[in-house]
A and B are shown apart, each in its own frame.
Chain A
C-alpha cells in the first residue's frame, strides 16, 4: 500500500482541474481510502453545503442548477472555476491544507467555504 508523501505532494500546491495536473505528478494515493470527489450544488443562488470539509487531494465538483451562470471563485484569487452554465459542472482538486473562502464572481452575495484538512 502506498502512503502519501506529504512533503512531495505539497510541492504541487493547488492543482486546478484534472486537465492541469502534470502527467509527471505521482497519482495521489491517499492514506485514507483514496481521493474523494465531493459535490457542491449551486441552486437558487446558494452553494450547498455552504461549508465543505475535505482531505488534501480530494476534489470538489460544483454543479449549477440555476438558469443563471455562476462561478466558484477563491476570494484571494488562487483558484476559479470560471463560468458554470446551467446543468454544467466544474472540478477543482485541493492539495493545500487551509480554509478557503469563495464566492460567485457574478453574484458577489453568494459566499461559501472549503476547509482542507491534512491526511
Chain B
C-alpha cells in the first residue's frame, strides 16, 4: 500500500534532514511538536551557559519562557484527552539532529557561538513553522490539537522574526 509522500524542504543549516514523508496521526504530531519545543529549550540553556551577548541571552530566555508555556498547554491537553503521544521517525530525526548541533556548538565560544546559535535558531524556527503550518495543522483531526498548534504557530512565527533580528544584529559573516 502506498501513501502520498509529504516531503518537507530541507534547510541547509539543519544537521539532519527533517522530513515528514507520510501523513502523521494526532498522537505523532503532538509528540513531535512537544519534542521540537523541548529541543529549543535545550539549545537555549546551552546559550545561557555559553553566551555573554545580551541580545542572545534575552532571546534564549524568551525561548525557555515561551516554549515552556506552549508545552505546559500541550501537557494539559494531553492530560485532558487522556492520550499518550507517539514517538516517531520525525521526532527521532529532530532529537539526533539537535544532539549533533549541540556537540558542534559546545566547541564554540564568543561571537562564533553566538552566530552559530542565532543562525540555527532562525533555521530551526523556519523549518518547524513550515512543518506546523503546512503539515501538522492540516493533518490534525482533534479540534483542540489544531487550535493549540495554531496558537503555537503564532508564537513560533514571532520567534522566527526575533531570530532574524538577532542574526542581523550580530552581523555574522557568511
Docked complex Cα distance between A83 and B62 (Å): 11
Is there contact, CB below 8 Å, between A67 and B162?
no
Within 8 Å CB of B62, what residues of A? 106-107
The number of chain B residues with a CB under 8 A from chain A is 15
Interface assignment of A68: CB less than 8 Å from any CB of chain B: yes
**Least CB distance, B145 to chain A, in whole angstroms:** 14
State the total of A-B contacts with C-beta under 8 angstroms. Answer: 41
8 Å CB contacts to A: which residues of B141-171?
Answer: 151-152, 154-155, 158, 161-162, 165
Is there contact, CB below 8 Å, between A108 and B162?
yes
Of the four ranges (under 10, 10 to 19, 20 to 34, 35 or more), the interface on chain A belongs to 10 to 19
Within 8 Å CB of B106, what residues of A? none
Within 8 Å CB of A68, what residues of B? 65-66, 69-70, 155, 158
Taking CB as reference atom, which chain B residue is nearest A83?
B65
Is there contact, CB below 8 Å, between B65 and A106?
yes
Within 8 Å CB of A17, what residues of B? none
Residue contacts A-B, CB under 8 angstroms, 6 given: A66-B151, A67-B151, A69-B65, A69-B66, A107-B162, A109-B162
